[in-house]
C-alpha cells in the first residue's frame, strides 16, 4: 500500500542530544513537509522540499535541520539548539503540480527530558 511512514511513533531523548525523525513515502510525491504541532498552535511549518537536494525554511526552522538526498525520504533532525523540542511532529507529502492536497504520516511524539 502507498503511504507515508513516520518512525518511531514515540521517541524519548535526553536534553542536549540531537535526534533524527524519519519520514519515508512511496507515493512518488515530489514535495515533502515537516510540521510541528503544539496545543493551541495548530500546525507550524518547519521545512519543506519541492525536489531532491533542495529545501526551504518554514516559519519555525531554527533549531532544526533536514536533508533530501532521495525523493522518498525527508529526515528531520532536532538539534540541541531547539529550545522546546517536546512536541508532536507530522510529515507530509504532495504532488508538485499545484493541484493536490498533502498526505500525512501518523506523526512522531518527541519527548525530551
Partner 1 sequence: AQTVTQSQPEMSVQEAETVTLSCTYDTSESNYYLFWYKQPPSRQMILVIRQEAYKQQNATENRFSVNFQKAAKSFSLKISDSQLGDTAMYFCAFMNLDDKIIFGKGTRLHILP
| 41: its cell numbers | 498552535
Question: CA 84 to CA 54: how far, in whole Å?
Answer: 26
Smaller CB separation from partner 1, 82 or 89:
89
Comparing C-alpha atoms, which of 34, 107, 44 is closest to residue 66?
34
Smaller CB separation from partner 1, 84 or 99:
99
Site for partner 1, rule CB under 8 A: 31, 33, 35, 40-45, 48, 50, 56, 58-59, 88, 90, 92, 94, 96, 98-99, 101-102, 104, 106-107
Write down the least CB distance from residue 80 to partner 1, Å.
Answer: 26
Q: Is the peptide bond before 8 cis (omega within 30 degrees of 0)?
A: yes
Amino acid at each position: 500500500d502507498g503511504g507515508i511512514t513516520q518512525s518511531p511513533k514515540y521517541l524519548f531523548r535526553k536534553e542536549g542530544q540531537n535526534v533524527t525523525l524519519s519520514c519515508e513515502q512511496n507515493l512518488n510525491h515530489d514535495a515533502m513537509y515537516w510540521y510541528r504541532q503544539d496545543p493551541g498552535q495548530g500546525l507550524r511549518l518547519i521545512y519543506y522540499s519541492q525536489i531532491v537536494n533542495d529545501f526551504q525554511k518554514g516559519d519555525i526552522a531554527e533549531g532544526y535541520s533536514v536533508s533530501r538526498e532521495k525523493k522518498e525520504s525527508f529526515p528531520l533532525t532536532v538539534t540541541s539548539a531547539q529550545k522546546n523540542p517536546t512536541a508532536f511532529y507530522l510529515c507530509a507529502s504532495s504532488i508538485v503540480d499545484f493541484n493536490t492536497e498533502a498526505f500525512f504520516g501518523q506523526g512522531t511524539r518527541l519527548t525530551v527530558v
